[in-house]
Amino acid sequence: MIVDRFKKYLTDISYPKDKNSTWNIAGVLKDHSNQKFKFDVRDLFRYKESQGARWQKYATRADKVVLEATDRWVIIEVAEMNKYVKKHKLKEVHIENLMKELEWSIEVPKG
């Protein structure tokens, strides 16, 4: 499960009490922050034959969205992403564009 793979990059871990929560795990990101965040960590699904995709709601209580790549984790600030998507009236965004356009986005190498 993706949350189990991601949790080894966190300390001070906690989980939501409500199973319908919009975040999956909370913790402090090792070597990147000393602040505890709530992370939305879900698997991608197949979209347009060769692309991975994920639905994202504006009304999430997560602080960060986590996407898994083969060799890294991509972590994006939810509030900043939502502002960017609304401002540009986007229905579809590509992770590469978000990484270039947003101030708070990081890559955490796996391993």
For the chain, the domain total comes to 1
29 exposure class (CB count in 10 Å sphere: 0-12, 13-18, 19+): buried
Pick from 18-27, 48-57, 85-94: least confident: 48-57
Looking at residue 10, its amino acid is L
Higher pLDDT pick, 103 / 42: 103
Higher pLDDT pick, 111 / 105: 105
Pick from 2-6, 31-35, 40-44, 94-98: least confident: 40-44
- Residue 49: per-residue pLDDT: 54
- Residue 39: per-residue pLDDT: 94
pLDDT, tens digit (0-9, with 9 covering 90-100), for 41-84 = 876 444 555 554 454 555 678 899 888 888 989 898 989 988 98
Range of the domain at 49: 2-109
Rounded CA separation 85/56 (Å): 11
